[in-house]
Structure 1
C-alpha cells in the first residue's frame, strides 16, 4: 500500500508538472531569436525620425534596444540604450551610418541580439518632422507647470512651440506661441482644459513640417465625497468585516483609513491603503474592539477628494 501511494504521488506530481509548469516556472527564451522588421539591414533613408520595429517574442517581458554609430564592432558612439515593453520605438537621428540591435528578456533568460545596419542620408529639414517627447500624449495632470520636450532635428537652429485649447483653429489667438533654440520649454497651464501642442524646426532659410499634435489635460478639480454604505455607523459586526462605499465615476482609486478606538491613530501599518475597488475586507481586529474608518477618492490626475464621514463599528 505504501509503495502504491508513493507511486500515485509521483504520477500526480508529473501530471501537474506537465500541465501547469508555466504557472510556476518561467520559460527560457535563450534559444529564441528576435526578428527585426524595420529598418531592415542595408536600408538607406532620408528620414531622420526612424521607427524601430521587430516581432514580439513569446514569454518575453521586455526588450533591450541599442543603436550605435557606425556599428557595434567599432563603435564611435552609443546613441541609444533603452528598455521597453513594446515592439516599436521611435527616435530621431542625424545623418550617418548606424547599426541597431534588439534582444528579448524575461526574469531568468534573454535571447541573442538581432542586428541590422542602415544609413541616414542628409536631407533638408523641409522633409523632416520634429519628434515630441513629453508630456506623454493624453496625459492628465494636476500640475500647472509643464515642461514640453522634443528631440533635436539635424539642421535646425531653433524650434517653434505652439499650444492651443481650440485645436489650432485660429493661429492668431493661440494659448502659447514662442520660439527657442532649446529642445524644451517650461509653460504654466492656467485653467482646467485640454491643451494640444506641436513643434516645428527652423533655420535661416527653411522650416520643417509640424510635428504630430499631442494633448495634455490640466485637471485640478478634486473628485466628490465618498458615501459609505456598510457597515452602518456603530454597527456590531463579526470579525472579517467587509467595508463598502459607493463608487464615484471620476475616481480611479480610493484611500482607506482604519483607526483605533481613539478615532485618530491608524490601526496598523497597513493603513492608509490605496484601493481600486469600492470595497475592502478588514481581517484585523479583536473581539470587543471599536474601530473607526473613512475613505476619500483619488482621480486620474492625482487629486484627492474630501474625506467621507467617519464611521465606527464594533467587533463582537
Structure 2
C-alpha cells in the first residue's frame, strides 16, 4: 500500500540525507533482503472462533525487520467491506525489541488478518489468517484493552493519566499499581475509564480489570518507568584543557557516573569560538568517547547528559584545545 511505500522511501531518504551529497546510498549501507522471508502468524490461528470483546494478534519475529504492517478486514482480503486495522508497528526509542503483538477491541464478525515485515529496502509478502469473533458466554471472558500510556512507557513526570476501553455491562473497574517487587502501592475502584495517578520514582506495573457484581475479567497490565532524576554532570578527560597538538584527528573522552533509571546518553558540543556561538559539531554519544577530524584552529568543547525519560543534566565545564 502507498503508506508503507512512503514509509520505506522516507526511511531510506533520511539515512542518505545524513551523508554528503554525491555519496551513493548503496555505498552507505547494505539493507538485508527479507523479501523471501515469511511472517509466521501465531494467534488467532487459521479458522478459529474467538470469544470475547477483543482480539490479541501475535506473530513470530522476522530477522532484520524494522517494522510490521498489520491489517484486519471484514470479511476478507482483497474484497474487504471494511478495513478495521491498518497499522505500522515500529520500535520505540528505548531499545526494546520490535513488538510482535497488538490488541484491539472489535465487534462480533468474520475477519481476515494479515502481517508483513518491512525494512528500508524490502518487504515480505503478507501472511493471512481468518477467524470469527463472537460474544463471550459470560462476563469474565471479556478483555480490558489498555489505551494509554503504551507498554514500557518512560516519563519524567510524576503525574500519569492511565486509560482503558470500556466493557459493556461493567459496573466498575479495579485499578492496581504494583512495584517491581510485586507490592501494591495503590488500588482504586472506579466507574470511569481513566484515572490520573501520581507515581513515585521507580518501575511499576499498572493493571485493570472490569467488574460486574460478583464477576470480573482477568487483569490487563502494562509496565512503566518514572524517572525524575537528571543525569550527573560529565567530567571531561581528554583532550586536556588548553592542549596543543598537530594531530587533526581528535578523540574526546569524559566520565559520568550513571543514575539508576532510564537509559542515559551524552551530547558533545564542539565550537570554534570562546563565546560558544559557532557550533562545529553536535553528536549524541552512548559510550563516553567520540572521535572527530578537524581543521587547524582553536576549539572549545563541552558535554551534557540526557536520559530517555527527558531529563537533562548540567552542562560540563568547557575545555579548549588548539590544532597547529
Shared fold (TM-score greater than 0.5)? yes
Contact 1:40 1:116 in 2 (8 A): yes
Contact 2:44 2:50 in 1 (8 A): no
> Take 2:318 and 2:46, find their aligned partners in 1: how far apart are those partners?
65
Q: Does 1:274 align with 2:284?
A: yes
Contact 1:257 1:266 in 2 (8 A): no
Q: Secondary structure at the match of 2:220?
A: coil
Q: Does 1:226 align with 2:238?
A: no
1:258 to 1:113, Cα distance in 2 relative to 1, 3 A: closer
Count of residue pairs brought into register by the alignment? 285
Q: Per-residue CA shift, 1:83-135, capped at 9, x if unaligned?
A: 23544333343333222122333444444433222122222221333233433
Q: Per-residue CA shift, 1:284-312, capped at 9, x if unaligned?
A: 242xx332211121134221111222211
Q: Secondary structure at the match of 1:265?
A: coil
* Structure 2 unaligned regions, length at least 5: 1-28, 90-97
Which of residues 235, 239, 250 in structure 2 aligns to 1:241? 250
Q: Per-residue CA shift, 1:25-47, capped at 9, x if unaligned?
A: 75362x66544332222201324
Which of residues 62, 68, 71 in structure 1 aligns to 2:67? 62
Q: Does 1:117 align with 2:141?
A: no
Matches within 5 A, 1:293-304: 293-304=301-312
- Measured after TM superposition, the shift of residue 158 of structure 1 is 4.4
Report the TM-score, using the length of structure 2 for normalisation: 0.74
Matches within 5 A, 1:23-102: 24=30, 27=33, 29=35, 33-57=38-62, 60-72=65-77, 75-84=80-89, 85-102=98-115
> Take 1:179 and 1:248, find their aligned partners in 2: how far apart are those partners?
43
Contact 2:231 2:264 in 1 (8 A): no
Q: Per-residue CA shift, 1:17-65, capped at 9, x if unaligned?
A: xxxxxx7475362x66544332222201324443323455566543321
- Measured after TM superposition, the shift of residue 313 of structure 1 is 1.1
Contact 1:69 1:76 in 2 (8 A): yes
1:308 to 1:81, Cα distance in 2 relative to 1, 3 A: same
Q: Report which of the two has the higher share of strand.
A: 2
- Measured after TM superposition, the shift of residue 258 of structure 1 is 1.8
> Take 1:298 and 1:25, find their aligned partners in 2: how far apart are those partners?
30
* Structure 1 unaligned regions, length at least 5: 1-22
> Take 2:224 and 2:187, find their aligned partners in 1: how far apart are those partners?
14
> Take 2:174 and 2:139, find their aligned partners in 1: how far apart are those partners?
14
Q: Does 1:210 align with 2:216?
A: no
- Which structure's CA Rg is the greater one? 1
> Take 2:82 and 2:168, find their aligned partners in 1: how far apart are those partners?
17
Q: Secondary structure at the match of 1:126?
A: helix
Matches within 5 A, 1:121-136: 121-123=134-136, 124-136=138-150
Contact 1:263 1:292 in 2 (8 A): no
1:278 to 1:159, Cα distance in 2 relative to 1, 3 A: same
Report the TM-score, using the length of structure 1 for normalisation: 0.75
Contact 1:60 1:104 in 2 (8 A): yes
Which of residues 134, 151, 173 in structure 2 aligns to 1:159? 173
> Take 1:254 and 1:119, find their aligned partners in 2: how far apart are those partners?
50
Structure 2 residue aligned with 1:18: none
- Measured after TM superposition, the shift of residue 241 of structure 1 is 1.7
Q: Does 1:260 align with 2:272?
A: yes
> Take 2:290 and 2:301, find their aligned partners in 1: how far apart are those partners?
11
Q: Secondary structure at the match of 2:216?
A: coil
